[in-house]
Structure 1
Amino acid sequence: MGEVIGSQNDTWVRAEDASAIGSLRRTAVVLAESRGFDEEDTGRVAVAVSEAASNLVKHATEGSMLIRPHPELASAIEVIAVDRGPGMRDVSRALRDGYSTAGTLGIGLGGIARMASGYEVHSMPGRGTVLGMYFTARDAPRPRCRVSGVTRPIGEERVCGDAFAAVDAGTTVTFVLCDGLGHGSAAAHASQEAVRLFLEHADLPPVRLLERIHTGLGQTRGGAVAVTRVDRTAGTVSFAGLGNVSAWITDQTGRQGMISVPGIAGHQARTLRQYEYAVPPHSVIVLHSDGLSERWDVNAYPGLLTRTPSVIATTLLREAGTRRDDACVLVVRPDA
């Protein structure tokens, strides 16, 4: 089938006081130990997470952290720290040895970068910073970092009604995003059922896949669903959508929307259609639920499209997400 990438029940932890630092460190250590990291590798994770969390607590505005198995490689750990300010004018300076933010553990961003197996930063003065990093055990495989997404439930809900999944077969990558109708456990059940059906029939063309999902969601609340396949060799994308999922081919010149037909998967649908699009070099595919406004513009974030999919998705969630609905962003780099 290929490499399977899937959404999880992402738990974002607000880092607003010192107690959050220890809690986040413990979460990271438990996850590292469960992945078979030895004492030295677990220590790297603990120190890097503590430093990043300390920076959020002391200097950030609305700082949050996500610690989870890496979506592309369950044996790896992904950590994402995001805030709304104050941002950095010169990220390269922050990465230099000897430069650290006063009052933290003192290793600075450069130390975090050396401890991580891989990292990416996007920051703008007055807008905030997104730091994405992953950790693997020594000599273990590393994730490709070409498909990722993030979810966030509405308000204080514990589960998100949106979900995504992808199958990366090398020359092609096929992916789905489902926005379960409403929110809470019933919406989550619908979106997870859509993911299950997608993985069961992932070799079908997108419109046939969407038909299977539409039929299979009849006993659930239903939702909006989009199925997409990128052919990396041909430089094309095939898209079939039902309902209000936003889908974009995005590059530095702007973005092109992909067309969904109105309806609710599992309940109401016109004739389903599949559309074909060209994918320009160095572009990314962005799918998101209506938990994000469509009023984002990548040109407002210089350099963002060169970052990893996790950092792109988290930045868009921060900038365009609304707390009035579940939110999900999926980013795919076709030419990676």
Structure 2
Amino acid sequence: MIILDGPLLLDCEDVAWFRDQPEAARGAAAALGRRIGLGEHRTAQLVLAVAELATNVTKHTTDGSILLRVLRNETVAGVEVLVIDGGPGVADVTAALRDGVLTIGTLGIGLGAVQRLADSFDIHSVQGLGTVQLARFWPRPLPASVGSEAVVGGITRAIGGEDVCGDAWTARVDTDEETVRVPAAKADLRQSGPGASPDWSAMTATGTGHHATRHAPPEPQRTPRPGAGGRSELVRSAAAGPGRGVLVMSCDGLGHGPMAARASQAAVQAFRTGAGRTPEQVIEEIHRALRGTRGAAVAVARLEPGGRLLFCGIGNIAACVVTADSRANLLSHPGIVGSQMRQLRTYEQQVGAGGTLVMHSDGLSERWRPGDLVTLLPHPPAVIAAGLLRHAGTRRDDASVVIAKGAW
């Protein structure tokens, strides 16, 4: 049985990046809308919005990119457009969204029209640093199942010169009696560079979710929660708590390219189909699934009502709980999932109101501070992830960020 009233999670497939290619982005949006069954009129609105955003980012920003993605749940598919640039930023976002405020050189419909065309729209901009814009397009009438904001969102980006990304992230909802399998938010990335065209033949209009009903086995006694100070503590024989929990995974296949992507997708599949309820159990299942691959760094977190967080990580996945003025790092241990893995250790931490879970691969520098995210934190998880990638991404490796907020 599928639980419909739990935390909202969406499959998110990164399809193609575009830089300085407004025509290619517009054509790709048209093909994508048709292939997922968005409908002729809705696809035309998507194309109009993408054309405006792509032209604007090409003419008036620095280091600007557009990412087209497929969003899915069990019943419907839509398109998300993420626009990321490195400056100059929007001086007055409210004014820019008013009718009649146009950017010279664009198609002339303005950001206000893009906002109205989209089913959801979000923008974060800081002068001198840049802007992140998010627009989502679902079939009409708008399905009730996508009417609220997803509690988990992320982004992946392949290293320059590669068509696939070796990083991946995904999430699912788990309860003590039944589990909702959410289609993987995988990095099936087809990058589009100058002279290149995306492989649209690989896209489908259906999700790949797996649903299972089962009864939980007896579990060991829980270790008491850590105190109110927010510091994580080692937990032995960690057990899943009652009610719904959200499991979140970040994976970095060793190296980059197709072999790294194969390892990360094996981890995604094991996460989706496994029965593990605690981070340790999930990583043990992934470890078995990755034998025969080059292996990966993997981290898994479990978020529960009331703010209880369990975390287990192997390898170079950075994870922390962030507020506007604090960053509490979560400890991962050395090893390679699928190859060399020492005894797993689980840490528990209490996440207070306003706390946000951040997990990212080593394609991002860890030298960022809570202040770098303070204006991003009120925004949707996907916008936070994109803003952090822009700020801390190194471009010397595959990169991925996954954010969870509002799940407790």
* TM class, shorter-length: over 0.9
Residues 136, 9 of structure 1: alpha-carbon distance in 2 compared, 3 angstrom cutoff: closer
**Contact kept? 1:71, 1:148, Cα under 8 Å:** no
**Contact kept? 1:175, 1:228, Cα under 8 Å:** yes
Distance 1:299 1:194 in 2: 33
Q: Aligned runs of 1:61-80 on 2, under 5 Å?
A: 61-70=62-71, 75-80=77-82
Q: Aligned runs of 1:307-322 on 2, under 5 Å?
A: 307-322=379-394
**Contact kept? 2:174, 2:277, Cα under 8 Å:** no
Q: Aligned runs of 1:158-307 on 2, under 5 Å?
A: 158-169=163-174, 171-231=244-304, 233-307=305-379
**Contact kept? 1:167, 1:202, Cα under 8 Å:** no
Match of 1:62, SS? Answer: coil
1:193 partner amino acid: A
Deviations 1:238-272 (A, max 9, x none): 11111110011111122111111111111112210
Match of 2:377, SS? Answer: helix
Match of 2:283, SS? Answer: helix
**Contact kept? 2:253, 2:296, Cα under 8 Å:** yes
Is residue 98 of structure 1 aligned with residue 74 of structure 2? no
Residues 152, 65 of structure 1: alpha-carbon distance in 2 compared, 3 angstrom cutoff: same
Q: CA deviation at 1:169?
A: 5.0
Of 95-104 and 287-296, deviating more is 95-104
Deviations 1:49-102 (A, max 9, x none): 111011111101111101110266761110001111110121111111111111
Is residue 48 of structure 1 aligned with residue 49 of structure 2? yes
Q: CA deviation at 1:300?
A: 2.8
Q: Which runs of 5+ in 1 are unaligned?
A: none
Distance 1:217 1:118 in 2: 38
Deviations 1:183-239 (A, max 9, x none): 1111111111111111111542111111121222121100110011100x2211111
Q: Which structure has the greater CA radius of gyration?
A: 2
Match of 2:81, SS? Answer: strand
| TM-score normalised over the length of structure 2 | 0.77
Match of 1:92, SS? Answer: helix
2:157 partner amino acid: R
1:44 partner amino acid: Q
Indicate which of 100, 109, 112 corresponds to 1:110. Answer: 112
Residues 7, 140 of structure 1: alpha-carbon distance in 2 compared, 3 angstrom cutoff: closer
Match of 1:306, SS? Answer: coil
**Contact kept? 1:248, 1:285, Cα under 8 Å:** yes
Q: CA deviation at 1:168?
A: 3.1
| Equivalent residues, number | 331
1:135 partner amino acid: F
Distance 2:36 2:341 in 1: 43
Partner of 1:25: 26
Partner of 2:159: 154
Residues 279, 200 of structure 1: alpha-carbon distance in 2 compared, 3 angstrom cutoff: same
Match of 2:291, SS? Answer: helix
Distance 2:151 2:25 in 1: 26
Q: CA deviation at 1:7?
A: 5.4
Partner of 1:39: 40
Match of 1:304, SS? Answer: coil
**Contact kept? 1:9, 1:160, Cα under 8 Å:** no
Q: Which runs of 5+ in 2 are unaligned?
A: 176-243
Distance 2:12 2:114 in 1: 26
Partner of 2:13: 8
Match of 1:316, SS? Answer: helix
1:230 partner amino acid: L
1:61 partner amino acid: T
Distance 1:29 1:207 in 2: 43
Is residue 82 of structure 1 aligned with residue 63 of structure 2? no
**Contact kept? 2:12, 2:70, Cα under 8 Å:** no
Match of 2:13, SS? Answer: coil
Q: CA deviation at 1:24?
A: 0.9
Over the matched positions of the two proteins, sequence identity in percent amounts to: 43
Indicate which of 123, 148, 159 corresponds to 2:125. Answer: 123
RMSD of Structure 2 on Structure 1 (CA) = 1.9
Q: CA deviation at 1:173?
A: 1.0
